[in-house]
Structure 1
Amino acid sequence: MTPRSKRPVATGGGAARPRAVALRNRLLRVLIPLRSRRAAQLRYAAILDGQTVNLHAQLPARAGLPERAEVVLQRRRRRYPGEARVHEGPAGEVLVDAAVLLGAEVGGVPVGTGRWRLRLRVHTGRRSRTLPLLLLQPSVPYEGPTKPMTASPVTGERHRLGRSFRGSARVVSSGARPAVEVAKVHLTHAGVTVDFRVLGTRVEEPWVDFVASGRRIEQTVTSLGPDGFRVTVPLGGMPPRSSRPDHWDVVLRDRTGRSMRLGRRLHDVRNPLRVFAMRSLAITPPGQPPLIVQPRYTPAGNFRVTCTRMHEAGRTDQ
Structure 2
Amino acid sequence: MTRRRPTRALRRRTARVRSVLLRRYFLPRRQGRAAVLRYAAVLDGQTVNLHARMPHWVRPDEGARIELRRRGRRHTAAAKVYSDHDGEVAMDAAVLLGQEVNGLPLTPGRWKIRLRLSRGLRRRSLPLLLVDPPVPYGGPTRPMEASAATGDRYRLGRGVTGNALLTFSRPQPSTEVVRVHLTHSQVDVTFRVVGAEPEAPSVAFVASGRRVEAVAEASGDGLWQVVAPLDLMAPSRDRAEQWDLILTSDNLRDMRLGRRLHDVRNPGRVFAYRQTAVTPVGLHPILVLPRYTPAGNFRIQCSPMTEAV
Q: Same fold (TM over 0.5)?
A: yes
Kept in 2, the 8 Å contact 1:244–1:312? The answer is no
Query: Residue 201 of structure 2 is aligned with which of 201, 206, 224?
Result: 206
- The unaligned stretches of length 5 or more in structure 2 are none
Number of aligned residue pairs: give it. Answer: 306
SS at match of 1:86: strand
SS at match of 2:19: helix
Moved more, 59-68 or 164-173: 59-68
Distance 1:55 1:134 in 2: 11
Kept in 2, the 8 Å contact 1:86–1:96? The answer is yes
Q: Which amino acid aligns with 1:274?
A: R
Distance 2:237 2:123 in 1: 75
Distance 2:224 2:159 in 1: 41
Partner of 1:310: 305
Partner of 1:171: 166
SS at match of 1:263: coil
Pairs within 5 Å for 1:64-83: 64-83=59-78
User: 1:14 and 2:6 equivalent?
Assistant: yes
CA-to-partner distance for each residue in 1:20-60, whole Å, 9 max, x for gaps? 54553343231111112111110000011111101111110
Q: Compared with structure 1, are the counterparts of its residues 313 and 88 closer, same or farther at alpha carbon in structure 2 (3 Å cutoff)?
A: farther
Distance 1:19 1:213 in 2: 45
* CA drift at 1:226: 7.8
Q: Compared with structure 1, are the counterparts of its residues 256 and 176 closer, same or farther at alpha carbon in structure 2 (3 Å cutoff)?
A: closer
Kept in 2, the 8 Å contact 1:66–1:123? The answer is no
User: 1:264 and 2:256 equivalent?
Assistant: no
Q: Which amino acid aligns with 2:139?
A: G
- RMSD (Å), alpha carbons: 2.2
Q: Which amino acid aligns with 1:31?
A: F
User: 1:244 and 2:239 equivalent?
Assistant: yes
Pairs within 5 Å for 1:144-223: 144-223=139-218
Name which one, 1 or 2, has greater alpha-carbon Rg.
Answer: 1
CA-to-partner distance for each residue in 1:188-216, whole Å, 9 max, x for gaps? 22211111111233433221100111111
Partner of 1:24: 18
Query: Residue 230 of structure 1 is aligned with which of 225, 232, 242?
Result: 225
* CA drift at 1:18: 6.1
* CA drift at 1:218: 0.3
Q: Compared with structure 1, are the counterparts of its residues 11 and 254 closer, same or farther at alpha carbon in structure 2 (3 Å cutoff)?
A: closer
Distance 2:130 2:163 in 1: 6
Distance 1:172 1:11 in 2: 22
Pairs within 5 Å for 1:275-286: 275-286=270-281
Distance 2:94 2:2 in 1: 46
Partner of 2:284: 289
Distance 1:61 1:234 in 2: 69
CA-to-partner distance for each residue in 1:240-274, whole Å, 9 max, x for gaps? 11221111110001235721100000001010000
Distance 2:264 2:63 in 1: 37
Q: Which amino acid aligns with 2:159?
A: S
- The unaligned stretches of length 5 or more in structure 1 are 1-8
User: 1:59 and 2:59 equivalent?
Assistant: no
Q: Compared with structure 1, are the counterparts of its residues 86 and 10 closer, same or farther at alpha carbon in structure 2 (3 Å cutoff)?
A: closer
* CA drift at 1:19: 6.7
